[in-house]
Chain A
Amino acid sequence: GDSVTQTEGLVTVTEGLPVKLNCTYQTTYLTIAFFWYVQYLNEAPQVLLRSSTDNKRTEHQGFHATLHKSSSSFHLQKSSAQLSDSALYYCALSGRMQQGTGSKLSFGKGAKLTVSP
């Protein structure tokens, strides 16, 4: 099956400093795409980044991530954290057991990022 391991629990960074949330995965499925979802307080999760191309950098809202299949990683980074980045972040991968079957998304356990002044 799929297994996503990400930075978990509480992560605190100071405004203006860089932030990195790690994400690695193990899978026996046919992997399709990788995602970072963000969930702001009392809101629903929403997609932040998506990638299915090895070694290609993907960027959105100042965040970036590069899928590295050689190391099974899809780490999330931002060079300068902002107060508004405080949220819950999930790494996820989409895979299917075999060709012709439906896909499903497997989530990591989530990391709560707090950006302090």
Chain B
Amino acid sequence: DMKVTQMPRYLIKRMGENVLLECGQDMSHETMYWYRQDPGLGLQLIYISYDVDSNSEGDIPKGYRVSRKKREHFSLILDSAKTNQTSVYFCASSLGTGGYAEQFFGPGTRLTVL
């Protein structure tokens, strides 16, 4: 069963705390992504990973970093979270690196920073 999982699904943090969002996929996809989704702004790309330890900034990387030490696992880290990082975060994966393949999305993590 092809699947992208995200943990946790809901998270409440205080400003200044560190946040770790985790994503896994069981399809051996090379490429993985982190997006945030905000009303009126759509899906904004934070980071892309083309394979283990091969990460590139997306359109809004400031305030975020990522880690990919295994192909099936991709983490998003917020060091000292800010209130404007309250959002829904989606992880996705796709086959290959060529860009023809569709992206499979996880269920999302709703993060609230107080």
Residue numbers of A with Cβ under 8 A of B are 32-33, 35, 43-47, 50, 52, 90, 94-96, 102-110
Contact = CB atoms under 8 A, between A and B. Distances in A.
Interface stretch (B13-21, B64-72, B75-83, B104-112): B104-112
Contacts, number: 57
B60 interface: no
Which 4 A-B residue pairings sit nearest by Cβ, starting from the closest?
A103-B99, A44-B105, A94-B99, A32-B99
B103 interface: yes
A42 to B, nearest CB: 9
A94 B50 CA distance: 14
Interface of B: 4, 31, 33, 40-45, 48, 50, 56, 58, 90, 97-100, 102-108
Contacts of A52: 100
Given A44-B106, A44-B107, A107 B100 contact: no
B99 to A, nearest CB: 3
B43 A90 contact: yes
